[in-house]
C-alpha cells in the first residue's frame, strides 16, 4: 500500500516532470544526439584504425613493387631471400589448407557438443561440461604447440598417418611418408584451439531459443531431435555461422602453435602428411633476420595478404549465409 | 468477471455430477458407462517442493468440451499440460498419478510421449509460433513433421479459415509468423494445432488476447470441433465456459473443488467456494 503522501505526491511530481519537460524542449533530444554521435565516432575509429594498418603495411611493402607485380607475388611459389625471389603462394596455401581442415574437424564436433550441452544433457552436466571447454580457450597457444610437438606429432607419425595411408591412401590427401610434422598436425592443433571458441558462442546463441517454441514442436508430435532441428537450429543458424567465423579467424591468424608443428618448409604438397608453412609462421620466423629491404617488404606483403584473406573469407561467408538464409520475410505489410 | 451466474445462457438441468473429488463421492445411481476419452486418476504435479496439482481425479467423455476454471495460479495450465506430458522437459517438475487417453495410461512405463502428443493437440497460453517460419510454414509444420500427405496448401487454408485468421493473412502467407499481432499469433497457433487433426485438443485460454468478434468465431469453432474431437479448454471467462462447454471443472489452490455439467456449476454449485467464484465474490 502506498502511503497517503505518496498518493498525493504522485500527480504533483508528474506535473513537475511535465513542466520540466516543457520548459526545456529538446533537452533529452540533445542528449540522444550527443550519445548517437559519440557512437558514430567510435564506430568510425574502428574503420580508421583498420585502414591505417592496411596503409602502413602497404607502405612497408612498397620496395617489393620494384620487381614483383601483385599478381606475380601472390602466384609465385619460390621463396628465396638469398636470390631476392619472393612468392606468397606456398604460405597462403598452408594457411588456407590448415584453416579449412581444422574447420572440417572442429565444426561438427563443436555444434554437436553445443547441442548436447544446451539441449540433451541434464542441466547440471551441461554446466559441468562448459567448464573444461572454457578452460581450453584460456590455454596459451605456445602450450598447444608443445602439446602438439610432444604428443600429437608422435601419435600421428606412429598411428594415425600410417593407418590413413593404408586405408585411404588412394586419396592424394593421405599419400606420402608419415612424418608427423605438417599440415595434418597443424590442422588438428588448430581444431582443438578453435573448438572452445565455436562452442562457447554457439552455446550462448542456442540458449536464446525461446523454450516455448520447443514446446510447440513437441506438442505437434516432434521427437526431441526433431524439435531441435525445427526450432534451435534455424533460430541460431546465423549465430552459429558467426561462431564458426570467429573460429576461422583464430585459425587463420594462429602463429605460435602452427609454427611449432607445421614443419616450416615452403612447399606445396597435395598430401596432408607433408610439411608446409603458413603466412603468420613465416612472418614471425623471418622478421627478426630479414636484412634486405626487399625481404622486409616481402614479409609486409605477406601480412597484407593475410589481412586480405581473412577479410575476403569473412565477407564471402557472410554473403553465402545471406544467400542460403531461406526464412520468411521479417517485415509485415 | 461477471457478477451474476450465467443463468440465462444455460438453463439449469438436473445436476448429474460426472466425477468428483474423492472426498465427496455422490451416492447417485451409476449412469450407463460411456468410456472416457480422457481420464485422470489421482493426478499430482510438483514443481520441486511446490505441490501444484493435488489428487485430481476426473474424466472427459468423447465429443464433449470440458472447461477448466479457477483463479489465476490455481493450476489450470499445470493440469492441462499434464494431459500432454508437457512437464517431462520442465526441470524440477514431477508428475504422479495416471492419465488415460482411450484407456491407455500416458505415464505408464514404455509409453512414447511422441506418439501420444500426435493424438493430443495443444494450444498454449502464450502464443508460440515458430519464429523462423512463415505463416504458411507454421500451419504446415505438423503436417511435414508427421509425414501427413495431401494438399498442404488446402489444409493450411482450411485451418486458417477455421481459426478465423485467413482473411487477415491470405495475402502474406510467406511473412514471418512472428510478424503478426498477439491475437493473430494466438489464432495462428490454433490453426497449427488443428492441422494435424488431433483426437483431443487442449486449449489454454485460446481467446485471452482476442476481440469479441474473433472470440465468437473461436467459440463457434469449438462447437464445430466438438463433433469430432474431445476438448479441454482453460478459460478465465465464465461466459465463455458457459457458452462452449458441456462440463466445467473448478480448480482452487491445485485442487479440483467441483466438477459437473456446466449449467449446474454456474447455477447450483454444491460447493461454497465454487459459488463464491462463479458469482464473482473472489478470484
Ligand atoms: N514451470 C514452473 N516451474 C515452477 N513452478 C511452476 C511452473 N509452472 C507453474 N508453476 C506453479 O504452479 C502453480 C500453478 O500455476 P499455473 O500456471 O498452472 O496456474 P494457472 O491456473 O494456469 O494460472 P493463470 O490463470 O494465471 O494462467 C503456480 O503456483 C506456479 O507458481
Ligand atoms: Mg495458466
State pLDDT tens for residues A50-69. 999 999 999 999 888 888 88
- pLDDT, position A172: 87
CA distance A201 to A7: 48
What is the ipTM metric for this complex? 0.83
CA distance A45 to A291: 34
> Measured in Å, how far apart are chain B's first and last C-alpha atoms?
8
Lowest mean pLDDT: which of A79-93, A100-114, B17-31?
B17-31
Q: How far are the Cα atoms of A123, A138, A184, A280 from residue A143, in angstroms, in the given order?
A: 31, 10, 18, 17
**Does residue A262 contact residue A181 with C-beta atoms inside 8 Å?**
yes
Chain A residues whose CB is inside 8 A of the B91 CB are 123
Residues from A contacting B (CB-CB < 8 Å) are 123, 210, 212-223, 226, 230-231, 234-235, 237, 327-333
Parallel/antiparallel/unpaired status of strands B120-123 and B200-204: parallel
- pLDDT, position A330: 46
Residue of A221, A224, A324 for testing the chain B interface, max B β-carbons within 10 Å: A221
Grid look-up 598411428 returns: A159
B253: domain CATH number?
3.40.50.300
Q: In angstroms, what is the span from residue B99 Cα to ligand 1's centroid?
A: 19
- pLDDT, position B33: 66
Q: What is the CA angle B54-B55-B57, rounded to 5?
A: 130
Grid look-up 598452408 returns: A94
Which residues does A190 contact at the CB level (< 8 Å), separation at least 6? A98, A99, A102, A106, A250, A251, A254, A257, A258
Which residues does B26 contact at the CB level (< 8 Å), separation at least 6? B17, B20
Asked if residue B26 belongs to a domain, the reply is no
Asked if residue B3 belongs to a domain, the reply is no
Residue A130 pLDDT exceeds 60: yes
Q: What is the DSSP letter of A244?
A: H
Across A44-49, average pLDDT = 94
Asked if residue B23 belongs to a domain, the reply is no
pLDDT < 70: residue spans in chain B: 1-34, 283
Parallel/antiparallel/unpaired status of strands B50-60 and B38-47: antiparallel
The structural domain count of chain B equals 1
Q: Give tens-digit pLDDT for A280-303.
A: 999 999 988 888 888 999 999 999
CA distance A192 to A267: 25
Domain that holds residue B245: 33-278
Nearest to A261 by CA among A88, A138, A141: A141
Closest residue of A to B124, CA-based? A216
Cell of A35: 550519445
DSSP H stretches of helix in chain B: 76-82, 113-119, 135-145, 152-162, 166-169, 182-195, 212-225, 238-244, 262-267, 272-278
Domain positions in chain A are: 4-64, 70-324
Residue of A208, A219, A222 for testing the chain B interface, max B β-carbons within 10 Å: A219
CATH topology of domain A70-324: MetI-like fold (1.10.3720)
Sign of CA dihedral B148, B152, B154, B158: positive
Asked if residue B243 belongs to a domain, the reply is yes
Amino acid at each position: 500500500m502506498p502511503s497517503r503522501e505518496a498518493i498525493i505526491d504522485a500527480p504533483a511530481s508528474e506535473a513537475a516532470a511535465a513542466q520540466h519537460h516543457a520548459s526545456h524542449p529538446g533537452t533529452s533530444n540533445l542528449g540522444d544526439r550527443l550519445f548517437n554521435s559519440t557512437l558514430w565516432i567510435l564506430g568510425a575509429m574502428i574503420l580508421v584504425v583498420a585502414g591505417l594498418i592496411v596503409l602502413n603495411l602497404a607502405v612497408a611493402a612498397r620496395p617489393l613493387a620494384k620487381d614483383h607485380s601483385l599478381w606475380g607475388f601472390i602466384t609465385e611459389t619460390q621463396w628465396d631471400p638469398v636470390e631476392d625471389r619472393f612468392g606468397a603462394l606456398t604460405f597462403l596455401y598452408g594457411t588456407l589448407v590448415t584453416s579449412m581442415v581444422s574447420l572440417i574437424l572442429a565444426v561438427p564436433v563443436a555444434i554437436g557438443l553445443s547441442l548436447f550441452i544446451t539441449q540433451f544433457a541434464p542441466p547440471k552436466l551441461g554446466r559441468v561440461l562448459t567448464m573444461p571447454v572454457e578452460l581450453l580457450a584460456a590455454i596459451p597457444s605456445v602450450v598447444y604447440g608443445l602439446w602438439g610437438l610432444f604428443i600429437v606429432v608422435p601419435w600421428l607419425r606412429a598411428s594415425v598417418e600410417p593407418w590413413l595411408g593404408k586405408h585411404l591412401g588412394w586419396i592424394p590427401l593421405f599419400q606420402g611418408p608419415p612424418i608427423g610434422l605438417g599440415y595434418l598436425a597443424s590442422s588438428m592443433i588448430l581444431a582443438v584451439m578453435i573448438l572452445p571458441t565455436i562452442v562457447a558462442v554457439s552455446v550462448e546463441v542456442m540458449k536464446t531459443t525461446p523454450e516455448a517454441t520447443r514446446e510447440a514442436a513437441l506438442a505437434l508430435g516432434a521427437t526431441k531431435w526433431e524439435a531441435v532441428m525445427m526450432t534451435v537450429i534455424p533460430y541460431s543458424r546465423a549465430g552459429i555461422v558467426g561462431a564458426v567465423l570467429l573460429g576461422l579467424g583464430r585459425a587463420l591468424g594462429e602463429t605460435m602453435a602452427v609454427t611449432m608443428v607445421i614443419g616450416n618448409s615452403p612447399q606445396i604438397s597435395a598430401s596432408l602428411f607433408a610439411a608446409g608453412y603458413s603466412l603468420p609462421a613465416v612472418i614471425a620466423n623471418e622478421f627478426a633476420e630479414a636484412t634486405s629491404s626487399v625481404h622486409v617488404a616481402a614479409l609486409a606483403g605477406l601480412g597484407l595478404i593475410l589481412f586480405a584473406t581473412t577479410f575476403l573469407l569473412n565477407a564471402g561467408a557472410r554473403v553465402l549465409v545471406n544467400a542460403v538464409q531461406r526464412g520468411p520475410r521479417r517485415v509485415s505489410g | 468477471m461477471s457478477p451474476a451466474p450465467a443463468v440465462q445462457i444455460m438453463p439449469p438441468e438436473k445436476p448429474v455430477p460426472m466425477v468428483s473429488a474423492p472426498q465427496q463421492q455422490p451416492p447417485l445411481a451409476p449412469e450407463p458407462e460411456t468410456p472416457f476419452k480422457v481420464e485422470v486418476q489421482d493426478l499430482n504435479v510438483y514443481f520441486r517442493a511446490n505441490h501444484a496439482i493435488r489428487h485430481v481425479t476426473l474424466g472427459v467423455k468423447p465429443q464433449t468440451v470440458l472447461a477448466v476454471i479457477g483463479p489465476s495460479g490455481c493450476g489450470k495450465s499445470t493440469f492441462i499440460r499434464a494431459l500432454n506430458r508437457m512437464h517431462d522437459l520442465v526441470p524440477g517438475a514431477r508428475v504422479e498419478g495416471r492419465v488415460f487417453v482411450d484407456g491407455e495410461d500416458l505415464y505408464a512405463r514404455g509409453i512414447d510421449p511422441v506418439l501420444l502428443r500426435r493424438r493430443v493437440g495443444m494450444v498454449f497460453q502464450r502464443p508460440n509460433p515458430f519464429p523462423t517460419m512463415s505463416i504458411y510454414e507454421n500451419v504446415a509444420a505438423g503436417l511435414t513433421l508427421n509425414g501427413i500427405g495431401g494438399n498442404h496448401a488446402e489444409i493450411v487454408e482450411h485451418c486458417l479459415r477455421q481459426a478465423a485468421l485467413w482473411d487477415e493473412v491470405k495475402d502474406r502467407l510467406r511473412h514471418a509468423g512472428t510478424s503478426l499481432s498477439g491475437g493473430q499469433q494466438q489464432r495462428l497457433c490454433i490453426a497449427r494445432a488443428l492441422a494435424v487433426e488431433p483426437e483431443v485438443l487442449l486449449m489454454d485460454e485460446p481467446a485471452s488476447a482476442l476481440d469479441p468478434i474473433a472470440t465468437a468465431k473461436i467459440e463457434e469453432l469449438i462447437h464445430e470441433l466438438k463433433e469430432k474431437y474431445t476438448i479441454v479448454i482453460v478459460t478465465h471467462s465464465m461466459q465463455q465456459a458457459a457458452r462452449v462447454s458441456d462440463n466445467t471443472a473448478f480448480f482452487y489452490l491445485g485442487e479440483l473443488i467441483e466438477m459437473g455439467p456446466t449449467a449446474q456449476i454456474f447455477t447450483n454449485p454444491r460447493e461454497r467456494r465454487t459459488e463464491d467464484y462463479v458469482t464473482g465474490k473472489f478470484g
